[in-house]
Amino acid sequence: MTRSPPIHRAPLSRREALLFEAGVKLGGIFHQYLGIPVTPRTAPGLARTIERAVSLQPFVVSVRATIDPRRGGPMGRGRFAYRYLNPEMIEVPVLPRDGPEAVEARFAHRADLRYPLMSVIRVRGPVRGSPPRRRAA
Amino acid sequence: MTRSPPIHRAPLSRREALLFEAGVKLGGIFHQYLGIPVTPRTAPGLARTIERAVSLQPFVVSVRATIDPRRGGPMGRGRFAYRYLNPEMIEVPVLPRDGPEAVEARFAHRADLRYPLMSVIRVRGPVRGSPPRRRAA
Amino acid sequence: MTRSPPIHRAPLSRREALLFEAGVKLGGIFHQYLGIPVTPRTAPGLARTIERAVSLQPFVVSVRATIDPRRGGPMGRGRFAYRYLNPEMIEVPVLPRDGPEAVEARFAHRADLRYPLMSVIRVRGPVRGSPPRRRAA
Amino acid sequence: MTRSPPIHRAPLSRREALLFEAGVKLGGIFHQYLGIPVTPRTAPGLARTIERAVSLQPFVVSVRATIDPRRGGPMGRGRFAYRYLNPEMIEVPVLPRDGPEAVEARFAHRADLRYPLMSVIRVRGPVRGSPPRRRAA
């Protein structure tokens, strides 16, 4: 940690900073990868590439993308027999972590809401009482 | 607010949920708009379009994008005399708000870090003691 | 024209070079703008921004985007009452031109093909007999 | 081929249709993948994923992406020690083919032009005299 400069000007607890980071990752996934051509055959490789890319970003210790190109409408025929990645096809849980604390967040299409929902599933580790990062440093 | 279904399964305070939302917006801005052709003449219109789009997303009450295409390297000549939006050109502060609480976060290129930094500048309103949203509902 | 360096190593006629450019524009539109938050209220402004951006690219003299966010599925409620730009919502005819010759091409979702089709509608001006650009220069 | 519906309303020769397709692919690559986090370690996997995705698109028989994250400026430190894919890092030759004819086109950053140039390198096979596709069908 000592190699990296501080990120936030606001005094945030680790938990709070992780919630921000979880949002950054999910917002980025949605807006970066939609539109990539995909079929059931290429979906696993694309999912791995997304995982490896997201894993480079700060604090991410786990990300597991699943892509099912059969969701979200039928495929074309002949030379149009592939799809473009859309929000209905993809689910991505991410787990940013900082020491003992971690946030589990997820991007998944919610048919009931007609909306690609990004949400926090769980927060792990010491919570409210954790000292703000700035004071701890 | 009563029209909208709950977002998170985890019990988050308003402040915490806003930090997550701030991250979603900034991560999305970075990965959506980079690559758009831009010149000093078209930059203000593009900035307004980004603001209007981000403002549609949940909780955002203020977003102010500034784009300076002259940053981030020289322009080409003749028919190549335009640039593609890159992280060095753009600064976007966003202000997601929920009732009395608000988070001020920002995307801005940090030359010293050689990195497009997304960070939280300030958190406003009742802080640590705020009850988790779930219990309050 | 004299201000700009030559683009292609292959000896292409103007017509051929314009067909290539038409493809570049349409391919770029598809992969750049999908995913941007949009409502019926913001759609015209987004369309103008796309037009202005595409117009910066070489040879484009006319581009007219229309976006109808009501196509391509229903909207969510409450704070989810907006959509993300998808291929079913948008139609973009582009007209790259070089002197007397022009190509009219279009990106439009084809429900019958279940495919966002990019295609050439018309080629205008002197056709087969036009001398290759390289020799003409 | 007989399974696929016709693409263009304009009567294009195979060569002309391939030039359009080459443009579509290159324009799409530029606007889809820029912004993906990358390091020298993840670059080859990202390049393969781009190749597989582009190969799904109509007429593409060969595409070979190379990504060098060390081009285009220095990397950050610590948790910022990665880059975002930018036009200076990537080179992608694509070869759309239709029967005996093929087009070799390429996306590559041209430092001398300060521009990410998409251009046609070579056209192979029967050229000017080829009958328009529509009449041949």
C-alpha–C-alpha distance, residues D8 and C134, integer Å: 27
B11: left (phi over 0), alpha (psi -120 to 50) or beta: beta
Average pLDDT over residues D47-58: 96
C-alpha–C-alpha distance, residues C90 and A84, integer Å: 15
Q: What is the pLDDT of residues B9-25, one digit of tens each?
A: 999 999 999 999 999 99
In chain C, % of residues over pLDDT 70: 89
* Cα D74 off chain centre by: 26
Chain B positions touching A27 (Cβ under 8 A) are: 23-29, 31
Average pLDDT over residues B108-130: 83
Of the candidate ranges A24-28, B55-59, D127-131, the one whose mean pLDDT is the lowest: D127-131
Secondary structure class of C46 (helix, strand, coil): helix
Residue C101 pLDDT: 95
Q: Do B84 and D84 touch (CB under 8 A)?
A: no
Residue D80 has phi, psi (to 5 degrees) of -105, 15
Shortest CA gap A128–chain C (Å): 28
Terminal-residue alpha carbon distance, chain B: 11
Residue B77 pLDDT: 86
Residue C4 pLDDT: 64
Cβ–Cβ < 8 Å for C102, C61: yes
pLDDT at B72 over 80: no
Residue C128 pLDDT: 53
Nearest to B53 by CA among A23, A108, C63, C45: C45
Nearest to B91 by CA among B50, B60, B39, B45: B50
pLDDT at C105 over 60: yes
C-alpha–C-alpha distance, residues D61 and D51, integer Å: 10
Could you tell me the pLDDT band of residue C1, with boundaries at 50, 70 and 90?
very low
Residue B15 pLDDT: 95
User: Dihedral sign, CA of B111, B115, B118, B123?
Assistant: negative
Residue C137 pLDDT: 32
Shortest CA gap A26–chain B (Å): 6
Average pLDDT over residues B32-45: 96
Alpha carbon of B30 to those of B130, C36, C87, D22: distances in Å? Answer: 31, 12, 21, 28
Secondary structure class of C119 (helix, strand, coil): strand
Could you tell me the pLDDT band of residue D113, with boundaries at 50, 70 and 90?
confident
pLDDT at D129 over 70: no
Residue A127 pLDDT: 52
Nearest to D25 by CA among D1, D50, D66, D57: D57
pLDDT at B133 over 90: no
What chain C residue is nearest to B46 in terms of C-alpha separation? Answer: C49
H helices then E strands: how many in chain A?
A: 3, 7
Could you tell me the pLDDT band of residue D125, with boundaries at 50, 70 and 90?
confident
Cβ-based interface (< 8 Å): residues of A facing B: 5, 7-10, 12, 15-17, 19-32, 104-105, 113, 117-123, 128
Q: Do C122 and D15 touch (CB under 8 A)?
A: no
Shortest CA gap D118–chain C (Å): 8
Chain D positions touching C121 (Cβ under 8 A) are: 8-10
Which residues of chain A fall below pLDDT 50? 1-2, 129-137
Shortest CA gap B130–chain D (Å): 31
ipTM of model = 0.88
pLDDT at C43 over 80: yes
Q: Do A36 and D39 touch (CB under 8 A)?
A: no
Q: What is the DSSP letter of B79?
A: G
Q: What mean pLDDT is reported for chain C?
A: 88
Residue C106 pLDDT: 97
pLDDT at C25 over 90: yes
Average pLDDT over residues C104-114: 92
Q: Do C53 and B39 touch (CB under 8 A)?
A: no
C-alpha–C-alpha distance, residues A130 and B125, integer Å: 19
